[in-house]
């Protein structure tokens, strides 16, 4: 990577809880170092809504609906390096706990059987993305270059991988930075 040019980074959260982004912010004062090295493209941090050509894309969360798939594909198309950030991006995580249930049953239970939701109607506004029958981790839909495990990954782990990538190194996490919970 050219040391002079700033590295362009995009981030997003799909079927996630933004916990990984919170952990990202936990790099604390290292954020000052980071902004000297990188420009942020689409990200909750910038509020830019579309992703442009980037060096690195960080994606939190798995894929639970059509919109998730579209965003993931955009990131894959525009990011040279795609990084799956956190447990849900890597194995579906908590949202994937519904995978053993038929989707129709889930929708029925939530919107029709249980009291109080949406007047007993399954929402069908075209604005809303339709849910997939199963929640998938990112690597089952696009090629993913690197993974940072953890729920969430620690700020140190995120910092390690980012600084490795910015420096053009193969990212390596020390064993103490690898955890799945």
Partner 1 sequence: MADNEGKSMNPVTACVAVPGVGAVVREVVARHGGDAHELVQILREVQDRCDWISPEAIDCLAAELRVPRTKIEAVAGFYSFFYLVPRGAYRVLFSDNITDRLAGSAGLKSRMCRNLWVEPGKVSEDGVVSVDLTSCTGMCDQGPAMLVNNRAITRLDDARVDAICDLIRNRVPLDDWPAEYFRVENNICRADMLLGAPVPSGSAIKAMETRGAPGLLEELRASNLRGRGGAGFDVVTKWSLCRAAPGAEHYVVCNADEGEPGTFKDRVLLTACPDLVFEGMTLCARAIGARRGFVYLRGEYCYLLDYLEGVLARRRAQGLLGKSILGVAGFDFDIVFHLGAGAYVCGEESAQIESLEGKRGTPRNRPPFPVTSGYLDQPTVVNNVETFAAATLIALNGGAWFAAVGTPQSTGTKLLSVSGDCERPGIYEYPFGVSVAQVLADCGAGDAQAAQVGGPSGTCIDASEFGRRIAFEDIPTAGAFMVFGAQRDMFDVARNFTRFFAHESCGFCTPCRVGTSLLNDLMDKLARGHGSPYDFAEIEKLNLRLRALSHCGLGHSACNPVLETIAKFRSTYERRLVHTQYVPAFDLDRALAAARQMTGREDAGAHIGEAT
Partner 2 sequence: MSSFKFDGREIPFVDGQTILQAVQAAGQDIPHLCYHPEFKPHGSCKLCSVRIGERMIASCTTPAAAGMNVESDTPDINDQRRTLLQMLFVEGNHFCPSCEKSGACRLQASAYELQMMSPHYDHFFPDRPVDASHEDFLLDTNRCILCSLCVRASRDVDGKNVFAFSGRGIHTHLIVNARSGRLGDTDFAAADKAAQVCPVGCILRKRVGFAVPIGQRPFDPPPQGE
CA dihedral 36, 171, 81, 66 (to 10 degrees): -110
According to the binding rule CB under 8 A, does residue 178 interact with partner 2? Answer: yes
Both structure tokens of 27: 């790099």
Binds partner 2 by CB under 8 A, chosen from 134, 142, 163, 164: 134
Beta bridge partners of 136: 63
Residue 44 binding partner per list partner 2, partner 1, none, with a CB distance cut-off of 5 to 8 Å that depends on partner kind = none
According to the binding rule CB under 8 A, does residue 109 interact with partner 2? Answer: no
According to the binding rule CB under 8 A, does residue 117 interact with partner 1? Answer: no
CA atoms of 165 and 159, how far apart (whole Å): 10
According to the binding rule CB under 8 A, does residue 155 interact with partner 2? Answer: no
Cα 154 → chain centroid: 15
Please report which helix (H) or strand (E) contains residue 129, including its range. Answer: none
Nearer to partner 1, 39 or 74 (CB): 74
Residue 92 binding partner per list partner 2, partner 1, none, with a CB distance cut-off of 5 to 8 Å that depends on partner kind = partner 2
CA-based R_g, the chain, Å: 18
Residue 173 binding partner per list partner 1, partner 2, none, with a CB distance cut-off of 5 to 8 Å that depends on partner kind = partner 2
Please report which helix (H) or strand (E) contains residue 81, including its range. Answer: strand 79-85
Residues that bind partner 2 (CB under 8 A): 84, 87, 90-94, 96-97, 99-100, 134, 136-137, 139-140, 144, 146-149, 151, 173, 175-176, 178-181
């Amino acid at each position: 990577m050219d040391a002079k040019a700033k590295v362009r980074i995009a981030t997003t959260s799909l079927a996630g809880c933004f916990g990984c982004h919170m952990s990202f912010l936990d790099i604390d004062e290292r954020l000052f170092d980071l902004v000297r090295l990188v420009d942020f493209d689409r990200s909750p941090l910038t509020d830019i809504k579309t992703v442009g050509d980037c060096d690195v894309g960080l994606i939190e969360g798995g894929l639970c609906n059509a919109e998730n798939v579209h965003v993931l594909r955009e990131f894959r198309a525009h990011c040279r390096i795609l990084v799956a950030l956190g447990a849900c991006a890597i194995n579906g995580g908590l949202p994937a706990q519904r995978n053993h249930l038929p989707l129709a049953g889930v929708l029925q239970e939530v919107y029709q059987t249980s009291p109080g939701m949406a007047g007993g109607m399954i929402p069908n506004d075209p604005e809303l993305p339709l849910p997939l029958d199963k929640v998938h981790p990112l690597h089952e839909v696009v090629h993913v270059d690197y993974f940072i495990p953890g729920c969430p990954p620690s700020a140190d782990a995120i910092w390690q991988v980012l600084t490795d990538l910015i420096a053009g190194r193969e990212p390596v996490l020390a064993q103490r930075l690898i955890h799945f919970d």
